[in-house]
Structure 1
């Protein structure tokens, strides 16, 4: 029996960048006569209902192309390179750490092999522009089995916006999952308040006391939960402790308001909750440092099936927030509205800058005010692991002409506008 998430693949704990909840979609496909390529991105595991036939045959919950044929009676078989493909626009751009190619319920009609490629095409490109992009192999052509969730780890630190699934020579794939780390363009967030915990900006539920009934990753998922199962729910406690979820924010910031949502949790909502914060910008580890946590929201009574909107006093910056629920129960969502600090914005920007393709990094620097030569030199100095490394790299740039002081000032202004250093 196919299982969509493979326990031996730790990358499945990361966000699915190809989730339609985040805005992913099919840009194009060369062939989906039997079953639409859009099915690849359906959030639920694939289903199979035997003997349900439509005008094109058995209805399959996945992407299925027609059977390929050769060019003539003398060559009736497809060539070794003949294949079908589907291109996915990721819901959010990010660094891909692993891919799931799931052939659930495809037993006599699965592809012989498949490959996965990726490209970075910023902005809002047309399908033709995406197809013409420079594609990089993430998963080389690999044999597939029927009714199996194939897990492929990816070792590539580049930020991508699109992936392409190639199947050889034809056949059906039920689901495609693309797990990774969100890399938000910092320019999109400048001057804004937003949900610092949200998956779409890079927030991650990185630890939880309990995930018996449902995942803590649901807490910071996009949109509102439509049923109880789309939230986070713990088992019933039989001791005097409490349950909690720890979230790494998209970047260090000030949390201005919280929404603690118990929608759909009627008889199993927590009685109370509080929020505590941690600032790891100085190098501490929130997973082991029990003394560095400080209160953000005092223990507050919760009501069942209710969106609790709670305004907070802006205080110390935080990089991590932990919600404690007393004694147990379930939450639909947690929203933490706030704004990035200068250090938080710089850290986010450096992670983005280090991961975008070189051509994009250079174009961004030129757009911020550097010369083409300066942009190329600073891009070549990557990775800029922290603000100190970035400052050193900027100082090492040689002026193209004119007084050194003038060029130094211009460089610093340009890099500050982009990277915040």
Structure 2
């Protein structure tokens, strides 16, 4: 048994050059995404498509239906166009509810560890439906093609840019004629229901699930800054934002675009699970892009930046709570950490202006 049989030595990342990979995954299970139905999942369950961790392969682990695979795998099609398997069409499909409705910039169909049993082609369709529709309503919906039927390679991250900039709530992943897909990633910009946010009144303006977004960061070495605005508390060190150790006089930072222009009334900085590598100090600043005198939020020296929480010492593995010193509206925020170190979560509670 060679490394190529069980690992990633020959894995091809065909989506690596696409800029959309830095955008959040709208189909992240942690945001509430789900695979609602599939026409076939004989060999491996459809729910595996949205697992956040990379797919793994354990050789010679057989169940009653064959080798256990970490992905969604359908049976070999033995029907014909005239007589397909009962309840199927000429291809296999799965219905996906996005955890965060929004604009899709790119899709990654990952066939990791599927070397002789991956599909020949895939396609992806999208629809927008209100509420929480079930499979029956989705199958009867009108669908728009985001990715036309396209060839894919086995044991590879197959990337597909998407040009349509409309808002979507659900996807249909099709594979032709059958086969296995390990993971599906849907990178884009979240656009939650504006009426729902208005009804909430007060909420976390930075949260990914509410439309907050990481615009830039000084360092992404150990883990991505988008972890800062994921739902819930982190369960381990890898679920926060951790930068490398600085050997200069600078400091690390993350710039966020808030869900909307709003006033921040409470700030939480959580260093959970960072024991020996938490940030030593932190500060939080706001910026109102609606102010014509504010300048560019990408400029850390722009006159529009104002202090929400001044530089404050942090404790490891602890939740810190602050009342901002300035209540003016903001469209952006910046978290500065001194000189470096890990932060698990950032919460900016407030309401839309």
Mapping of 1:174-253 within 5 angstroms? 174-191=182-199, 192-253=201-262
Residue 313 (structure 1) shift: 4.2
Query: What is the CA–CA distance in structure 1 between the aligned matches of 2:64 and 2:95, rounded to whole Å?
Result: 26
Residue 206 (structure 1) shift: 1.1
Residue 312 (structure 1) shift: 2.1
Query: What is the CA–CA distance in structure 2 between the aligned matches of 1:138 and 1:76, rounded to whole Å?
Result: 26
Residue 76 (structure 1) shift: 10
User: Gapped runs of 5+ residues in structure 2?
Assistant: 1-9
What is the DSSP-based 3-state SS (H/G/I as helix, E as strand, rest coil) of the residue aligned with 1:309? strand
1:108 paired with 2:116, answer yes
Select 1:159's aligned residue among 161, 164, 167. 167
CA offsets per residue over residues 357-393 of structure 1, 9 Å max, x none?
A: xxxxxxxxxxxxxxxxxxxxxxxxxxxxxxxxxxxxx
Higher helix share: 1
Query: What is the CA–CA distance in structure 1 between the aligned matches of 2:84 and 2:121, rounded to whole Å?
Result: 20
1:125 paired with 2:133, answer yes
1:76–1:258 CA distance, 2 compared to 1 (3 A)? closer
- Corresponding residue pairs, total: 337
Select 1:285's aligned residue among 296, 300, 307. 296
Query: What is the CA–CA distance in structure 2 between the aligned matches of 1:261 and 1:291, rounded to whole Å?
Result: 28
Query: What is the CA–CA distance in structure 1 between the aligned matches of 2:131 and 2:95, rounded to whole Å?
Result: 16
What corresponds to 1:89 in structure 2? 97
Query: What is the CA–CA distance in structure 1 between the aligned matches of 2:223 and 2:14, rounded to whole Å?
Result: 14
8 Å contact kept, 2:14–2:156: no
1:3–1:232 CA distance, 2 compared to 1 (3 A)? farther
What corresponds to 2:179 in structure 1? 171
What corresponds to 1:138 in structure 2? 146
What is the DSSP-based 3-state SS (H/G/I as helix, E as strand, rest coil) of the residue aligned with 1:16? coil
8 Å contact kept, 1:4–1:45: no
Deviates more, 1:105-114 or 1:188-197: 188-197
Structure (1 or 2) with the larger CA radius of gyration = 1
8 Å contact kept, 1:14–1:181: yes
1:311 paired with 2:323, answer yes
What is the DSSP-based 3-state SS (H/G/I as helix, E as strand, rest coil) of the residue aligned with 1:11? helix
Calculate the TM-score normalised by the size of structure 2.
0.92
Residue 109 (structure 1) shift: 0.3
CA offsets per residue over residues 243-300 of structure 1, 9 Å max, x none?
A: 1111111111101111100001101111111111111123542013622211111111
Residue 71 (structure 1) shift: 4.6
CA offsets per residue over residues 104-141 of structure 1, 9 Å max, x none?
A: 10011000111000011111112100111001100000
1:225–1:237 CA distance, 2 compared to 1 (3 A)? same
- Where in structure 1 do 4 or more consecutive aligned residues deviate above 6 Å? 74-77
Deviates more, 1:123-132 or 1:32-41: 123-132
Residue 6 (structure 1) shift: 3.1
1:82–1:158 CA distance, 2 compared to 1 (3 A)? same
Query: What is the CA–CA distance in structure 1 between the aligned matches of 2:286 and 2:132, rounded to whole Å?
Result: 36
Calculate the TM-score normalised by the size of structure 1.
0.77
1:193–1:5 CA distance, 2 compared to 1 (3 A)? farther
Query: What is the CA–CA distance in structure 2 between the aligned matches of 1:234 and 1:16, rounded to whole Å?
Result: 21
What corresponds to 1:269 in structure 2? 278
Query: What is the CA–CA distance in structure 1 between the aligned matches of 2:154 and 2:209, rounded to whole Å?
Result: 33
